[in-house]
Structure 1
Amino acid sequence: MVRVGLDHEVAGERLLVGTGLTVDELDRADDAVEASQELAVARNLVGELGDRPGLGLEVATGLGLNSFGLLGFALLSSPTVGDAARIGLRYLNLCHVFVTVSVTVGLNGVRVAFDDDDLPEDVRPFLVERDLAIIIGVLMAGIFGTEAVTRGPDIQLELSLGAERGRPLGEQLSPLSVSYGRPRSVLTFPADLLSAPAPMPDDATARLCERQCHEVVQHRRERHGLAAQVRGRLLRDPGSMPSATDIAAELHVDRRTLHRRLADEETSFRALREETLHGLAAEMLTVLHLSVEETAQRLGYATASAFTHAYTRWAGSPPSRHLPRTEKSPDTRTRIRDEATAVAQVLAGSGDAEARSWGEALTWFAEHIHGDRQQARAAFAERFGVQLPARRA
């Protein structure tokens, strides 16, 4: 999309407003470009050039199956068109499209529906034109091969775009039979096309490319997926976590789109929220050695009992089971830490090197005080190589 804007003499900086990217970073961004950034570019492009018919087509101009890397090779080398369609549908997110695609195979043929209900109104026509140009005009045309021409009249496309807005796309997809102004964009074709061979069938290559596509998707989910973004936002302020509506607004998508895309990543907002809360609670209880009351307060629970109920649901046991056996009260821990710090300051200010060393050690001990005395002594010994004497009875 940036290339199209630049071709129309729109400054790259204007096209990238709101993305956090620069023109120089685009070549290095690769799969780090997120859906919210693409949406921002789409809005900037339409805002600069207007929602002109054919603008979405320009984005797809010059693309072929080889433009989509591993996915393109997987489609080309699939044994049949049906196999290629299965792979394409599974890894369509690698193409950065926004429409939702669903496929139904019946007695009357194959029906491919393109749902655009979740697309923002201001860029919906542009994104529908662009996405269908890529999915039908590049991906499907590539795997159909010559069948797309010889069987063109048997392939029908209903467009949600009106005749004036959708005609450039319809003409580009000739010889398909195209109608305009329909409730939903739908492509239908005879089911026997699924059994036709793909352009370059090679089962071993197809399996290898599909496996690598899966690895790319997993990598994106871990590093740049929507779930990672949501989890990061939830961690930003654990005591006052935002709602799904709040996060959707920050990502410039509506709530339905947020839930749908999280479902595509095999998770949900509720699951991410509870996973985040559970992880934080476990760290506070077992690492920071906070009390149940302190943990509940830090995580924004109104009462300790409400937190206990939630934690038991997550972990299968109450949080008290995860506390050190001899947990000390906050007041006791504070008193011990203050006394240790005071002694450490005296030793650290001494002119004796050994005393200063013990002062530094005691300072560390004060900062890492544990409720369990044995655990504290073991940690001290590991850090300084000195075994503290056991407390006398």
Structure 2
Amino acid sequence: MQRSMLTIRSASLTGYSDLARHVGLDPARMLRRVGLSARDLVDPDAPISSNAVRELLESSAAAANVEDFGLRLAMSRRLSNLGPISAVMSEAPTAREALESLCRYIRLINASLLTRIEDYGDAVLIREHILVDDKNSVRQSIEMAVGVLYRSIAELLGPNWRPRSVCFEHRPPDGATCHKTFFGSAVEFNADFNGIVCHARDMAACRPATGSQMALYARRFLDQALTSANDSDTHSIRQVIVAMLPNGRCTADRVARHLGVDRRTLHRRLTTESTTFSSLLREVRCELAARQIRDSDRSLAELADLLGFSSSSAFAFWFRKQFGTTVSKWRETQ
């Protein structure tokens, strides 16, 4: 199946060269290894390959033996680094509405990042997911994304704001890192999702009005950009599959209804892009399974729930069929 290249604003690598040199790396050499150069980072709005950025962060962390490389990049971020979206978010009457705007426009910043807001009683959960088409690690990219999200909320709500928890699906780092310094004591690893849990009252609290009209113009610009965006149907359907998998009801009918079409239209669109719903579902499950088994310490039952299987045995049977070995043996090889 032919895949379209997902892009991200080059602003995502703001500060990369300085950090790379600080940890003993040659930034020009590291950029060249993933097909980028310093020229690609001059214009913060220039689109660059999100896969290249992900590979750069992972390889830099490994080469420098710095487990929190992506998070260190996020530490210098401000809301303004999000470009025109920051104008819309800054003038929102509540943090909740600001984050809803972020969810709406995030693909204009990073086409591989999926951000969702969910309500659970007095808590608001903000999920972050990196959409990729391979089984490689996304640890550094996820930590950078969650770190940028954390800094954005803190800027909206002020320095006294604290989350209920900051969660990562991957296992904890082996050595000392800046996680506790950056997020405080509420950091959880091997969690059920990547993201931040906030108090609902914080998200709903009114923010002071700015009286600026910049948000109106920024929103018009962003809406026009969304209209012009040429996302493939495969990419859009992958996003819905990722969102629906954990509830165990990710069927072609449900995905089609979520997208506002019937099942026949869904299949026709995928056929046009030389794939099918079943193969796309299998690919997403394989990618998520490989990443979770390698990067986290989840049990078989937890993996089954995350990937939408009815039982541990059903997941184990599927995994052996797809990977040719058991979960435990595959984990050992990684």
2:272 is aligned with 1:274: yes
Mapped to 2, the partners of 1:170 and 1:67 lie a distance apart of 23
Aligned partners of 1:78 and 1:203 also within 8 Å = no
User: Partner letter of residue 118 of structure 2?
Assistant: T
Q: 1:209 aligns with which of 186, 211, 218?
A: 218
Mapped to 1, the partners of 2:63 and 2:203 lie a distance apart of 41
Give the 5 Å matches for 1:167-316: 168-174=178-184, 177-198=186-207, 201-202=210-211, 204-219=213-228, 221-222=229-230, 227=232, 271=269, 274=272
Mapped to 2, the partners of 1:265 and 1:31 lie a distance apart of 30
2:155 is aligned with 1:142: yes
Give per-residue Cα distances to partners, 1:263-313, cap 9 Å, x unaligned: 99999895276389xxxxxxxxxxxxxxxxxxxxxxxxxxxxxxxxxxxxx
Give the 5 Å matches for 1:327-338: none
Aligned identity (percent) is 13
Aligned partners of 2:170 and 2:189 also within 8 Å = yes
Aligned partners of 2:130 and 2:138 also within 8 Å = yes
Give the 5 Å matches for 1:97-108: 98-108=112-122
CA offset at residue 11 of structure 1?
4.1
Q: How many matched pairs?
A: 239
In structure 2, the residue matched to 1:16 is 32
In structure 2, the residue matched to 1:333 is none
In structure 2, the residue matched to 1:389 is none
CA offset at residue 105 of structure 1?
1.8
In structure 2, the residue matched to 1:30 is 45
Give per-residue Cα distances to partners, 1:50-77, cap 9 Å, x unaligned: 4x22211221132111222211121111
Structure 2 unpaired stretches of 5+: 1-12, 244-255, 275-334
1:33–1:217 distance in 2 versus 1, CA, 3 Å:
farther
Give per-residue Cα distances to partners, 1:195-232, cap 9 Å, x unaligned: 2233654474333222222234445x24xxx53xx9xx
Give per-residue Cα distances to partners, 1:53-103, cap 9 Å, x unaligned: 221122113211122221112111112212111101112234438553321
Aligned partners of 1:133 and 1:169 also within 8 Å = no
Aligned partners of 2:40 and 2:48 also within 8 Å = no
Aligned partners of 2:129 and 2:142 also within 8 Å = no
Q: When the two structures are superposed, what TM-score results if normalisation uses the length of structure 2?
A: 0.58
Mapped to 2, the partners of 1:69 and 1:97 lie a distance apart of 15
Mapped to 2, the partners of 1:48 and 1:63 lie a distance apart of 23
The alignment's C-alpha RMSD in Å is 4.0
Name the one with the larger helix percent. Answer: 1
SS in 1 for 2:128: strand
Aligned partners of 1:79 and 1:202 also within 8 Å = no
CA offset at residue 172 of structure 1?
0.2
In structure 2, the residue matched to 1:309 is none
SS in 1 for 2:98: helix
1:102–1:11 distance in 2 versus 1, CA, 3 Å:
closer
- Answer with 1 or 2: which has the greater Rg: 1
CA offset at residue 156 of structure 1?
2.2
Mapped to 2, the partners of 1:144 and 1:16 lie a distance apart of 39
Aligned partners of 2:114 and 2:129 also within 8 Å = yes
CA offset at residue 191 of structure 1?
1.6
Aligned partners of 1:5 and 1:15 also within 8 Å = no
Aligned partners of 2:125 and 2:197 also within 8 Å = yes
Mapped to 2, the partners of 1:198 and 1:133 lie a distance apart of 22
CA offset at residue 167 of structure 1?
5.4
Mapped to 2, the partners of 1:79 and 1:59 lie a distance apart of 29
CA offset at residue 15 of structure 1?
1.9
Aligned partners of 1:111 and 1:187 also within 8 Å = yes
User: Partner letter of residue 5 of structure 1?
Assistant: A
